[in-house]
Chains A and B, each alone.
Chain A
Amino acid sequence: DQQVKQNSPSLSVQEGRISILNCDYTNSMFDYFLWYKKYPAEGPTFLISISSIKDKNEDGRFTVFLNKSAKHLSLHIVPSQPGDSAVYFCAASAASGTYKYIFGTGTRLKVLA
């Protein structure tokens, strides 16, 4: 049972335009969500997070939106740059004390110059 789903395995966007990556979850106990970016041969790099008490968090070109009623979050990258080309994972955790993350399967973003 996949508790965190990223239904788009890949996305191509023109440089300068907006990239929107989506993530859905099924477990209503999740209360903390994160986005990681992963380049080949490297570990995931933390991008941005959001707690369930918020519906939006912004950090520079990256904004994460959380819709708790729809159990949906999205990552917006504006403007997209070629260096943003990577695999993006969303992850969720419940406040169980362990903070174990449940990851989605990832979306490969390609930003075209």
Chain B
Amino acid sequence: ETGVTQSPTHLIKTRGQQVTLRCSSQSGHNTVSWYQQALGQGPQFIFQYYREEENGRGNFPPRFSGLQFPNYSSELNVNALELDDSALYLCASSLKGAETQYFGPGTRLLVL
């Protein structure tokens, strides 16, 4: 059974650019959640996807968007990057209806 994987591990972008982060769910998991973890903070919920539809969203602007694919993998897209978007982006997978989420190692994004 493979765990949650994310790519890339690190990324450097400049203000105004766009970025796509990728996540592969743990085998058998059909729900994916994305979190942003700024330095010294706990992870903050961005949104969750189930059956390729957004299933809940945190307090993040529309320039944060996502996709889930039929194989349950997922992408997080961020447009018009800002300096404050620099953070660790975590993906977590779970079974719908199961409350425990399992996290990937994260993608560290630096916006200059």
Contact = CB atoms under 8 A, between A and B. Distances in A.
A53 interface: no
Contacts of A41: 105
A47 B94 CA distance: 15
A102 B33 CA distance: 12
Contacts of B92: 43
A44 B99 contact: no
A103 B42 contact: yes
Contacts of B90: 43-44
A4 B94 CA distance: 22
A89 to B, nearest CB: 5
A32 interface: yes
Give the interface residue-count category, chain A.
20 to 34
Interface in B73-112: 90, 92, 94, 99-106
B30 to A, nearest CB: 13
A42 interface: yes
Given A45-B103, A89-B42, A105-B42, 4 more contacts: A42-B105, A96-B56, A97-B56, A101-B45
24 contacts: A32-B99, A34-B100, A36-B103, A43-B90, A43-B92, A43-B106, A44-B43, A45-B103, A46-B102, A49-B99, A89-B43, A97-B55, A97-B56, A98-B48, A99-B94, A99-B99, A99-B101, A100-B56, A101-B33, A101-B43, A101-B101, A103-B43, A103-B44, A105-B40
